[in-house]
Amino acid sequence: MAALAGVWKRKRDDLKVKRNALFETYTKDFQNFHLAREIKALDDEIADCTQHVEAERRAEQRAAFPASKLVTTPK
């Protein structure tokens, strides 16, 4: 499972590099709405990758600590 999280992290990092480069260009020309749409699409993909990374991390934690060993505290 850790390999899958690594793939998602790598994809997210690649997307962040593209997004940051576009944003740098966009900050010099706020009227370029085409760039804004591209940045938004990249932000959505980054969020999706982040969700996958988090899900993989939770799955790893569940596998490492079986439910019988988890201690819950009353609220």
| pTM confidence score | 0.76
Residue 1: what pLDDT? 54
Asked whether 26 and 36 are in contact (CB, 8 A), the reply is yes
Convert the pLDDT of each residue in 7-54 to its tens digit.
999 999 999 999 999 999 999 999 999 999 999 999 999 999 999 999
Q: How far apart are CA 6 and CA 67, in angstroms?
A: 25
pLDDT of residue 63: 84
Where do the domains of the chain lie, and which CATH numbers do they carry?
Answer: 2-65 (1.20.58)
pLDDT at 2: 65
Per-residue confidence (pLDDT) for residue 51, from 0 to 100: 95
